[in-house]
Chains A and B, each alone.
Chain A
Amino acid sequence: GAVVSQHPSRVICKSGTSVKIECRSLDFQATTMFWYRQFPKQSLMLMATSNEGSKATYEQGVEKDKFLINHASLTLSTLTVTSAHPEDSSFYICSARDRTGGQETQYFGPGTRLLVL
């Protein structure tokens, strides 16, 4: 089956630093990757849609300068949380859509837990 990995799985950082999270599709090419965040016991909220070779599309209310997304290849997208603050602490999950046409299913990574002190 399709596998998506995320790295790191857990990160603790100081307030004001930047954190990069990688999302990789391991056995398929992903034209589109999605980034979500999830607060404890809440649902997933879509942050942005990342398309290979083009700028990411951000959802309303998500600061593009704070959450930098780069989708440099068909198997890798990165999310950089810049100048992180404690309120950015959350569970960040990526998903990837198979490049094969008509695939509505998204394959999710295992998530990255970010704690900003």
Chain B
Amino acid sequence: SQQGEEDPQALSIQEGENATMNCSYKTSINNLQWYRQNSGRGLVHLILIRSNEREKHSGRLRVTLDTSKKSSSLLITASRAADTASYFCAVGGSNYKLTFGKGTLLTVNP
């Protein structure tokens, strides 16, 4: 299975701290994407990193990809209470299908 596996399953931090979430997968990929989901809502695309890229930034987000270890990490710097949500990684294959991991529930305490 290409399914991504995030860890930790849950993360609780204080506002202003950095949050790091990790994702591991099993097979080769075309790209890896990170999404955010607020409780009971749809998904918001955060960032896409291609298999030939190692690092990507977008605002307070930093994503790394290590294809040799089949892993990726999402770093959110200077977290805010509004960052509280579930974060999912999804591996993209050659047919545009996405396979999602189980997600990390991030709680940022004010």
Q: Chain A interface (Cβ within 8 Å of chain B)?
A: 4, 6, 32, 34, 36, 42-46, 49, 91, 93, 95, 97, 104-111, 113
Give the residue name and chain of the B residue nearest to A91 (CB): B40
Q: Assuming the A-B contacts A104-B30, A105-B33, are A46 and B43 also in contact, with contact meaning beta carbons closer than 8 angstroms in the complex?
A: no
Q: Is the CB of B96 within 8 A of A104?
A: yes
Residues of B in contact (CB 8 Å), total 23
Give the residue name and chain of the B residue nearest to A46 (CB): B97
Total of A-B residue pairs, C-beta within 8 Å: 53
B38: shortest Cβ distance to chain A, in Å?
10
Q: Is the CB of B45 within 8 A of A108?
A: yes
Q: Assuming the A-B contacts A34-B97, A46-B98, A46-B99, are A104 and B42 also in contact, with contact meaning beta carbons closer than 8 angstroms in the complex?
A: no
B24-53 Cβ-contact flags toward A at 8 Å (1 or 0): 000000110101000011111100100000
Q: Is the CB of A104 within 8 A of B48?
A: yes
Q: Is the CB of B44 within 8 A of A44?
A: no
Q: Assuming the A-B contacts A44-B88, A97-B96, A111-B42, are A105 and B48 also in contact, with contact meaning beta carbons closer than 8 angstroms in the complex?
A: yes
Q: Is the CB of B97 within 8 A of A111?
A: no
Q: Is the CB of B45 within 8 A of A105?
A: yes
A–B Cβ pairs within 8 angstroms, 12 of them: A43-B103, A44-B100, A46-B98, A49-B97, A97-B96, A104-B30, A105-B48, A106-B45, A107-B45, A108-B35, A109-B42, A111-B42
Q: Which residues of B contact A91 (CB under 8 A)?
A: 40
**A44, A49, A97, A111: most-surrounded residue (chain B CB, <10 A):** A44
Q: Which residues of B contact A111 (CB under 8 A)?
A: 40-42
A92: shortest Cβ distance to chain B, in Å?
11
Give the residue name and chain of the B residue nearest to A113 (CB): B40
